[in-house]
Structure formats: structure tokens, C-alpha cells
Amino acid sequence: MMIQWTNYAKKLGAKGFKIMESLLLINDPVLNGTVISIELPNEGSKLDFESQKNGLIGHLRGHLHNHDITIEVIVNESFESKRSFNDQDRYNRLHEINPNIDLLRTTFGLDIT
């Protein structure tokens, strides 16, 4: 199933349907009997996926020789911030990326707060 899922995603990508390709490859679908569950990050992604779902189902049913396959879309909008960043944390991260930011800060007399 995963091979055909990936093949269909690549086929869509080659045709220029990059959004649908990324939705198909965003995470691995879960097969439970004949029901394939895919988890998407938001309702907008679900709407995009639903509009192209019939082509995917047709591809999977034909290549897997199973006409009972259905796809269930689960929206998981729960995003928990692991850490809240303050100004000093942001500055430290930027300083790691480019140490010259300290020169910029001192030249223009900028304060972190």
C-alpha cells in the first residue's frame, strides 16, 4: 500500500500538483483493514486533500486489486509550543547563526529588551 501511495504522490508531483504531493507525503498513512487513515495538520489541508481523494482511491483500488478501500482524513490541529522564547533567547539564537549581529547591535546602540 505504501509503495502505491508514494508512487501516486510522485506522479502528482511530476504533473505539477505539488500541494497534493506534499499532503500525501506529510506523514505515513495507517492501514486498518480496508480503511486508510491519514492525519493532516488543518482543515485547509483536509479540503485540498478531499478534492483530490477520488483519484487516489481509484489508483489504490486498481493497483492493489481491492475495491473496498476507503480513506479517512483526521485533522490534528493540536500544536503545543515546547518552549516560549523571550527576547534574550531570540538574540542568542541569532548570535549563534551569525556572530556579527553583536557588531550590529553595538554600532546602532540597540538594546535587547
What does the pLDDT read at residue 5? 94
What does the pLDDT read at residue 81? 41
Q: Map residue 102 onto helix, strand or coil.
A: helix
For residue range 18-47, list pLDDT tens digits in order: 999 999 998 889 999 999 999 998 899 999
Model pTM score:
0.66
Distance CA 17, CA 12 (A): 5
Is residue 56 a contact partner of residue 23, using CB atoms and an 8 Å limit?
no
Half-sphere exposure for 23 (CA within 13 Å, toward CB): 25
How far is residue 72 from each of residues 18, 37, 42, 66, measured CA to CA in Å? 21, 5, 14, 16
What does the pLDDT read at residue 83? 53
For residue range 44-92, list pLDDT tens digits in order: 999 999 999 999 999 999 999 999 999 999 998 774 444 557 888 888 8
